[in-house]
Chain A
Amino acid sequence: MADQEFKGKIEQALDNSTLRGALGRFGEFYEKAREQVYEGYDFQALRDQVAEVKSYAASHLDEMLDQFERAATARGAKVFRAETGEDANRYISELALKHKVKSIVKSKSMASEEIHLNDALAAKGMDVQETDLGEWILQLCHQTPSHMVMPALHMTKEQVADVFTDHLGRINDPDIASLVKTARSELRSKFLEADMGISGANMAIAETGTLMVVTNEGNARLTATLPRIHVFLVGVEKMVPKFEDAGCILQTLPRNATAQAITSYVTMVTGPTPVYMPDGSVRDKELHIVLMDNGRRKMYADDKFKKTFQCIRCASCLNVCPAYQLVGGHVYGHIYTGGIGTILTAFLNEEKFAENPQNLCLQCGKCAEICPGRLDIPEMILELRTRFAQKKGLPFTQKFALDIVANRRLFHSLLRVASLAQKPLTKGQPVIRHLPMFLSGLTEKRSLPAIAPVPFRDIFKSIPQNIKDVKGTAAFYAGCLVDFVYPKIGEGVIAALNDKGYKVVFPEGQSCCGAPAVYMGDKPNAKKSAMLNIEALKAEGVDYVVSACPTCTHALKDSYPALLSGDPAWEERAAVLSRKALDFSKLLADLGGLPEGGDGLPLKVTYHDSCHLKRKMGVYREPRAHLSRTAGIELVEMYESDHCCGFAGSYSIKFPEISAPILEKKIKNIEATGADVVAVDCPGCLMQISGGLDQARSPIKVKHTAEILLEKRHRQKNQKLS
Chain B
Amino acid sequence: MLNQGERPKNLYEGFREKLTAMAGECSRVRRAEDIAAFLIPFFRENKIRTVGLAESPLTRAGGLRERLQGAGIKVTTDNIRQAAPGVEAGITQLKWGIAELGTLVQIGTNVDQRLLSMLPPLHVALAQTSELVPTVAEALRLIHSLPEIPGFVGFITGPSRTADIERVLTIGVHGPGRFLALLVDEDVREGE
Contact = CB atoms under 8 A, between A and B. Distances in A.
Nearest to A38: B5
B5 A41 contact: yes
Interface stretch (B30-38, B59-67, B140-148): B140-148
B149 A210 contact: yes
A218 B118 contact: yes
Interface in B151-178: 151-168, 170, 172-176
A251 B166 CA distance: 26
Contact of A133 (B102, B156, B162, B175): B162
B23 to A, nearest CB: 9
B162 A180 contact: yes
B85 interface: yes
Nearest to B168: A176
Given A151-B164, A152-B164, A273-B109, A268 B154 contact: yes
B111 A251 contact: no
A41 B3 CA distance: 7
A270 B150 contact: yes
A191 B81 CA distance: 12
Interface string B111-136: 10011001100000000000000001
Q: Which of B6, B102, B144 has most A Cβ within 10 Å?
A: B144
Interface in B1-15: 1-6
B92 interface: no
Interface stretch (A259-267, A510-518, A561-569): A259-267
A272 B3 CA distance: 32
A188 B176 CA distance: 12
Contacts of A247: 2, 136-137, 140
Contact of B175 (A176, A181, A264): A264
A551 interface: no
B174 A153 contact: no
A278 to B, nearest CB: 10
Contacts of A29: 167
A75 B164 CA distance: 35
B154 to A, nearest CB: 6
B5 A273 contact: no
Nearest to B121: A184
Contact of A244 (B140, B152, B153, B160): B140
A195 interface: no
A275 interface: yes
A248 B140 CA distance: 11
A248 B3 contact: yes
Given A222-B118, A247-B140, A266-B155, A217 B160 contact: yes
Nearest to A267: B154
Contacts of B157: 262-265
Given A184-B173, A280-B81, A243 B167 contact: no
Contact of A152 (B102, B109, B151, B165): B165
B71 to A, nearest CB: 29
A216 B162 contact: yes
B174 A192 contact: no
B22 interface: yes
A266 B22 contact: no
A75 B151 contact: yes
A177 B162 CA distance: 10
B16 interface: no
A271 B5 CA distance: 32
Q: Which of A258, A266, A276 has most B Cβ within 10 Å?
A: A266
B54 interface: no
Given A133-B165, A180-B162, A269-B151, A274 B6 contact: no
Contact of A272 (B1, B102, B151): B151
B154 A22 contact: no
A134 B165 CA distance: 7
A703 interface: no
B101 interface: yes
Nearest to A150: B164
B141 A244 contact: yes
A42 interface: yes
A247 B5 CA distance: 13
Nearest to A46: B3
A173 to B, nearest CB: 13
Contacts of B143: 243, 268
A267 B2 contact: no
B110 A274 contact: yes
A366 B160 CA distance: 32
A29 B167 CA distance: 10
B57 interface: no
Given A176-B166, A180-B165, A131 B22 contact: no
A177 B5 contact: no
A131 B143 CA distance: 29
Given A180-B170, A192-B85, A221 B164 contact: no
Contacts of B81: 276, 280
Contact of A218 (B1, B101, B175): B175
Nearest to A135: B164
Contacts of A553: none
B111 A225 contact: yes
Contacts of B101: 261-262
B103 interface: yes
B111 A274 contact: yes
A705 B111 CA distance: 66
Contacts of B149: 208, 210, 243, 268, 270
A221 B2 contact: no
A41 B162 contact: no
11 contacts: A40-B6, A176-B170, A218-B175, A221-B154, A265-B157, A267-B155, A268-B143, A270-B149, A270-B151, A274-B109, A276-B81
Interface of A: 22, 25-26, 29, 39-42, 45-46, 49, 75, 131-134, 137, 150-153, 155-157, 160, 176-177, 179-181, 183-184, 187-188, 191-192, 208, 210, 216-219, 221-222, 224-225, 243-244, 246-248, 250-251, 258, 260-276, 280, 282
- A-B CB proximity, top 10 nearest: A218-B175, A134-B164, A266-B155, A273-B151, A218-B160, A40-B5, A268-B153, A218-B174, A133-B164, A276-B81
Given A134-B164, A243-B144, 14 more contacts: A133-B162, A176-B168, A184-B173, A192-B85, A218-B118, A219-B174, A222-B174, A225-B118, A244-B2, A247-B2, A251-B2, A263-B157, A270-B150, A273-B152
Interface of B: 1-6, 18, 21-22, 81, 85, 101-103, 108-111, 114-115, 118-119, 136-137, 140-141, 143-144, 148-168, 170, 172-176
